[in-house]
Amino acid sequence: MSARGARQRGDRPQAAHAGREGPALSVNGLCKRFGDRVAFEDVSFEIGYGEVFGFLGPNGAGKTTTVRTLGTLIAPTAGTAMVAGIPLTPENGVEIRRRISIMPESPGLYPRLSVRENLECFADLYEVPDPRDRIDRALRAVKLLERDRDLCGALSKGLRQRVALARALLGDPAVVFLDEPTAGLDPVATRDVHELIASLRDSGVTIFLTTHRLEEAERLCDRVAILNTRLRTIGRPAELRERLFARTLSVRTRTPLTDPGRVFAGLAGVEGWRVRAADEAPAPGAGGAPGAAPGADGAPGADGAAGARAADGAARSDGTTYLLEVSDPYAAAPAATRALVAAGADVLSIGEWHHSLEDVYLQLIDDPAPEARP
Amino acid sequence: MSAPVSRRRVGAILRRELRDYRRNRYMLVSMGVIPAVFLAEPLIYVLRLPPSASVPLSHQHQLLYMLGIPALVPALVAAASVVTERAQGTLEPVLTTPVRREELLLGKALAPLLPSVAVSYLVYGLFVCVIELFAHPGVAPALLQAPVVIAQVIFTPLIAAFSIWVGLAISTLSRDIRAAQQLSMLCNLPVVAFAVLTAFNVIHPTLGLAVGAGAALLAAYRVGWRVVSALFDRERLVSARGR
């Protein structure tokens, strides 16, 4: 299916921004070429007001160029878009820029000016009424009110990033484009930025978040799109996981099973099994990211001895983990538990294994197929 | 019909630039050294003149020599204007605001114009004061002829404005701050040469010449605005192609 076909809209309740008709961003077949080089092409999506939309992709995928195009800095080669309800045309540039704000990857602050002086300049560029009050509110939001007299050149990278965020809030934007907003921030500052993004979303502001931090996207974004020149996929993180990966049950035993193939063979709903490899990192909130487990893969009825050997190799001090591909974990889990108990296994835990957004990302970025997945 | 220019936005750019100059030691030194050089030479020359020199001096126009100040000071400052912002990454955030190209350019042009014209007038005033106080009697009246003083007052902002458009055009096209400044200075050398040759009466200053030069500068000003406006393309300035 084409990227256009992959269009979806967030259905988050939009109570805070009633009165704003239509999507905050509507992009249709957008394309940008620099001579022969394609920055991005055939990009289509819609984003609702109050939605946090993650825009992911490797370096050079066209993320920043897309943001610049939607921010009227760059003219698209083809395609159409509506930004904050206004058609993306050169004539509408000023009106669009009035309703959006962009925080670029580099904070871009004037180093010889104080924090407040930097913000004063931008408050005047946005022609905000009562700039002093607006600046105070923006600084309070990023917890920098006490540092407003400091020269920006003397601030740490993290603090500069926060000033840039405050600057992005000055114009009371309907859509905020954030390019790597937490790059260089310590965990506390990162948490503050996440809270700020959440509060912006709650007040009806649309956030277009470009990030390489997949756990950040997973945590903050209502939906994500993965771009690699073309849109690879778009959807809610949970949907993408379900779309790309079979559901998996994680079974942990104290010692390796002597014949796991026999234990798992024929279990209702179990379509295959393997031993979790020793180098598989745990995924957030659950087992971990399933990767290759050479020599340990098995469909029901696979060579039990091979499975046992692999299990020996993958055995950890905290037990051995088997990953079962299942159609329905709720039906498969009781059956697996009974089979394990019948086989005399010491079961430590059993639960659903969650693939991370990183798995989705890696799967799609490595996939040479240019078509977007619905 | 194009929307009116927002004075608030122009003012924001202007204030920001002036604040930056004030805190930029390199910029302050540049704004001080060039006028000092253009003040020192005629001052030393005039102060060493004997009283009998007042008659031949009436054929010279030392004051016009100092028109080099409005030619070179704003050239140096304007040449750094855009290229510095691109280098430090501050241009893109500005371009993402509702500021129009004309407002941004107007702010960026006014910022070097005001201090350089002020410095030029200050130096002229200093020169006049010193020769009135310390030169031999007769030298000051011979030098300070009304047409020359009027020409000085009128041509200072005209030359400065021309020099700023040259500097901004080069700054918009450049990737390197120093190269932009050097090129801008070089491009303004013909103006300096014209002023020096006029000062020493190699080019005989007449009313016709003054009117012609003024008209040429005004025409160049209009062309400069159009050229810089055309060069100041958001896409070129933010994308890698423009770097």
* Domain ranges across chain B: 7-242
Residue that the structure tokens 């390197």 belong to: B176
Q: Are the C-beta atoms of residues A172 and A138 closer than 8 Å to each other?
A: no
Rounded to the nearest angstrom, the gap between the alpha carbon of residue B174 and the centroid of all alpha carbons in its chain is 19
Residue type, A123: A
CB atoms within 10 A of CB A109: 28
How far apart are alpha carbons A129 and A106 in whole angstroms? 27
Give the 3-state secondary structure of chain A: CCCHHHCCCCCCCCHHHCCCCCCCEEEEEEEEEECCEEEEEEEEEEECCCCEEEEECCCCCCHHHHHHHHCCCCCCCEEEEEECCEECCHHHHHHHHHHEEEECCCCCCCCCCEHHHHHHHHHHHCCCCCHHHHHHHHHHHCCCHHHCCCEHHHCCHHHHHHHHHHHHHCCCCCEEEEECCCCCCCHHHHHHHHHHHHHHHHCCCEEEEECCCHHHHHHHCCEEEEEECEEEEEECHHHHHHHHCCEEEEEEECCCCCCHHHHHCCCCCEEEEEECCCCCCCCCCCCCCCCCCCCCCECCCCCHHHHHHHHHHHCECCEEEEEEEECCHHHHHHHHHHHHHHCCCCEEEEEEECCCHHHHHHHHHHCCCCCCEC
How many Cα atoms sit within 13 Å of B242 on the Cβ side? Answer: 21
Local confidence band at A304 (pLDDT 50, 70, 90 cut-offs): very low
Partner residue opposite A127 with nearest CB, options B8, B24, B88: B8
ipTM associated with this complex? 0.88
Describe the strand order of the beta sheet including A270-275 as a list of residue ranges. Answer: A270-275, A320-326, A247-253, A347-353
What pLDDT does B97 receive? 96
Contacts of A126 in chain B (CB under 8 A): 97-98
Residue A373 has pLDDT above 80, yes or no: no
Tokens of A33: 């070429």
CA B178 to CA A256: how far, in whole Å?
Answer: 69
Q: Does A349 touch chain B (CB under 8 A)?
A: no
Q: Which of B1, B97, B106 to mutate to test the interface with A (most CBs of A within 10 A)?
A: B97
Average pLDDT over residues A74-101: 94
The DSSP secondary-structure symbol of B6 reads: P
Determine the pLDDT at residue A334.
87
Sheet holding A230-235, edge to edge: A100-103, A175-179, A206-210, A52-56, A223-228, A230-235
The per-residue pLDDT for A2 is 40
Structure tokens at A142: 């990023």
Cα radius of gyration rounded to whole Å, chain A: 25
Residue B147's CB is within 10 A of a number of other CB atoms, namely: 12
What integer is the mean pLDDT of A190-216? Answer: 87
The pLDDT value recorded for residue B203 is 85
Query: Residue A367: what are its φ and ψ, rounded to 5°?
Result: -70, 120
Mean pLDDT of the region A208-236: 88
Q: What is the pLDDT of residue A195?
A: 87
Which of A95, A98, A113 comes nearest B20 by C-beta? A113
B24–A112 CB contact, under 8 Å: yes
Contact A121/B88, CB-based, under 8 Å? Answer: no
Q: CA torsion sign, A212 to A215 to A221 to A224?
A: positive
More confident site: B189 or A192: B189
pLDDT tens, residue by residue, A315-333: 445 788 888 888 888 888 8
Which pLDDT score, from 0 to 100, does residue A178 have? 94
In this prediction, residue A360 has a pLDDT band, given cuts at 50, 70 and 90, of confident
> Does the pLDDT of residue B167 top 90, yes or no?
yes
Flag whether residue A241 sits within 8 Å of chain B, measured between CB atoms: no
CATH of domain A4-240: 3.40.50.300
Distance in angstroms (rounded) separating the CA atoms of residues A291 and B82: 50
**Is A113 near chain B, with CB under 8 Å?**
yes
Q: Which of A85-94, A352-361, B132-141, B189-198 has the lowest mean pLDDT?
A: A352-361
Could you tell me the two tokens for A34? 């620099």
The end-to-end CA distance of chain B, in Å, is 33
What does DSSP assign to residue B51? Answer: G
- Which residue's structure tokens are 């619905």? A374
Which residues have CB under 8 Å from A36's CB, separation 6+?
none
Amino acid (1-letter code) at residue B99: V
- The per-residue pLDDT for range A102-114, each reduced to its tens digit, is 999 889 999 999 9
Q: For residue A285, what pLDDT band results from cuts at 50, 70 and 90?
A: very low
Residue A164 is predicted with a pLDDT of 93
Interface of B with A (CB under 8 A): 3, 6, 8-9, 11-13, 15-16, 19-20, 23-24, 88-100, 234-235, 238-241
Q: Rounded CA gap, B114 and B38, in Å?
A: 19
Which ranges constitute the DSSP H helices of chain B? 7-22, 25-47, 54-57, 62-65, 68-88, 91-95, 101-134, 139-143, 146-173, 177-199, 207-231, 234-238
Percentage, residues of chain A above pLDDT 90: 39
Average the pLDDT over A234-242 and give the result. 80
Q: Which residue of A has its CA nearest to B90?
A: A108
Lowest mean pLDDT among A83-97, A129-143, A189-203, A272-286: A272-286
Report residue A244's pLDDT band, with 50, 70 and 90 as the boundaries: low
Place of tokens 């070089």: B186
Cβ of residue A71 closer than 8 Å to a chain B Cβ: yes
Banded pLDDT at A206 (limits 50, 70, 90): very high
| CB B82, CB B108: distance < 8 Å | yes
Q: Label residues A171-208 b or e (16+ Cβ within 10 Å = b).
A: bbbbbbbbbbbbbebeeebbebbbebbeebbeebbbbb
Interacting residues of B39 by C-beta distance below 8 A, sequence separation 6+: B66, B123, B126, B127
Considering CB atoms only, which of B11, B89, B100 is closest to A124? B11
* Lowest pLDDT segment from A145-154, A257-266, B85-94: A257-266
Question: Do the chains contact at B235 and A73, CB–CB below 8 Å?
Answer: yes
Q: DSSP assignment, residue B242? A: G
High-pLDDT (> 70) share of chain A, %: 79
What's the pLDDT score for residue A8? 43
Residue A93 has pLDDT above 90, yes or no: yes
Provide the pLDDT for residue A29.
95
Residue A125 above 90 pLDDT?
A: yes
| Mean pLDDT lowest among A11-20, A141-150, B164-173 | A11-20
Using a CB-CB distance cutoff of 8 angstroms, which residues of chain B are in contact with residue A108?
Answer: 88-93
User: Of A69-73, A270-274, B1-5, which has the strongest mean pLDDT?
Assistant: A69-73
Residue B119 is encoded by which pair of tokens?
């410095």
By residue count, chain A amounts to 374
Distances from the Cα of A276 to the Cαs of A30, A301, A307, A326, A334, in angstroms? Answer: 42, 18, 11, 15, 20
Question: A105 — alpha (psi -120 to 50), left (phi > 0) or beta?
Answer: alpha
Asked which of A169-178, A192-201, B108-117 is least confident by mean pLDDT, the reply is A192-201
Please state whether beta strands A230-235 and A247-253 pair in parallel, antiparallel, or not at all (unpaired): unpaired
Chain A residues whose CB is inside 8 A of the B9 CB are 124-125, 127
pLDDT for B172: 93
Whether the CB-CB separation of A234 and A224 falls below 8 Å is answered with yes
pLDDT of the residue at A10: 43
**According to the model, what pLDDT value does residue B197 have?**
87
Q: State chain A's mean pLDDT as an integer.
A: 80
Q: Examine the pLDDT at A122 and tell me if it is beyond 60.
A: yes
**B178-216 pLDDT, tens digit each:** 999 999 999 999 988 988 888 878 888 888 888 898 899
Find the farthest-apart pair of alpha carbons in chain B and give their distance in angstroms, rounded. Answer: 64
**pLDDT over 90 at A136, yes or no:** yes
Q: What is the largest CA-CA distance in chain A?
A: 75
pLDDT, position B2: 66
Contacts of A65 in chain B (CB under 8 A): 239
Q: What is the pLDDT of residues B30-80, one digit of tens each?
A: 888 999 988 988 888 888 877 776 666 666 777 788 899 999 999 999 999
Sign, CA dihedral B11-B14-B16-B22, equals negative
Domain positions in chain A are: 4-240, 246-354
For the cut 80, the answer to whether the pLDDT of residue A94 exceeds it is yes
The whole-angstrom distance between A105's CA and the closest CA on chain B is 10
**What is the distance in angstroms between the Cα of A156 and the nearest Cα belonging to chain B?**
16
pLDDT digits (tens, 9 = 90+) for A336-358: 888 888 888 888 888 887 777 77
**Closest listed residue to residue A125, CA positions, set B16, B113, B232:** B16
Mutate to test the interface with B, among A64, A65, A112, A117 (most CBs of B within 10 A): A112
How far is the C-alpha of B5 from the C-alpha of B105, rounded, in Å?
11
- Bridge partners (DSSP) listed for residue A316: A319
Backbone angles phi, psi at B49, to 5 degrees: -75, 140
Lowest mean pLDDT across A122-131, A326-335, B172-181? A326-335
B239–A71 CB contact, under 8 Å: no
B18-33 burial, b at 16+ Cβ within 10 Å, e below that, comes to bbbbeebeebeebbee
| Residue A294 reports pLDDT greater than 90 | no
Q: How far apart are CA A105 and CA B86, in angstroms?
A: 14
